[in-house]
Amino acid sequence: LDDHSMTAEAWEDKLAQERGRTEEALNQLERANDLASRLEGALLGKQSAKDQMQYQLRELQNSNKQLREQLEEANRKLFLAENDKKETAKLWRMMHLAQIDANTAAKTAKWEKSSARADDATDE
């Protein structure tokens, strides 16, 4: 399904998946931050261990940056999906109201036509 033909249930599923991905990214970010904090404490050890930890810390910081970017992208997609869902619902409501208006206009035209025929019949 493309984004424009999805049902409300499909939108809900898609939004739930995006929320799940966002939560997982946040959890990964928290775990990475916890590990980075522990690594900073371990840097007080030997110089070679310190060098190794600094390297790992840089790697974690890079990983955190990537996770943050992924989280921002997931949040952006979630925001867009929610807006698309609202817009789709709005368009469906408008289409439904237009159908009601069209049906009302058709009934009115039919009634007016019948009424005009009745008037013509009484005039003769």
The domain segmentation of the chain, as residue ranges, is: 8-123
Q: 36 CB contacts (<8 Å, ≥6 apart)? A: 57, 60, 61, 64
For 45, list phi and psi in degrees, rounded to 5.
-80, -155
**Distance from the first to the final alpha carbon of the chain:** 61
Write the pLDDT tens digit of every residue in 22-32. 999 999 999 99
Residue whose pair of structure tokens reads 């599923």 in the numeric block: 13
Write the pLDDT tens digit of every residue in 68-83. 999 899 999 989 988 9
In this prediction the pTM is 0.43
How confident is the model at residue 2, as a pLDDT? Answer: 59
Q: Please list the helix, strand and coil fractions of the chain in percent, rounded to the nearest 5, in that order.
A: 90, 0, 10
Measure the CA–CA gap between 13 and 64, rounded to whole angstroms: 27
Residue 1 has pLDDT above 60, yes or no: no
Residue 13 has pLDDT above 70, yes or no: yes
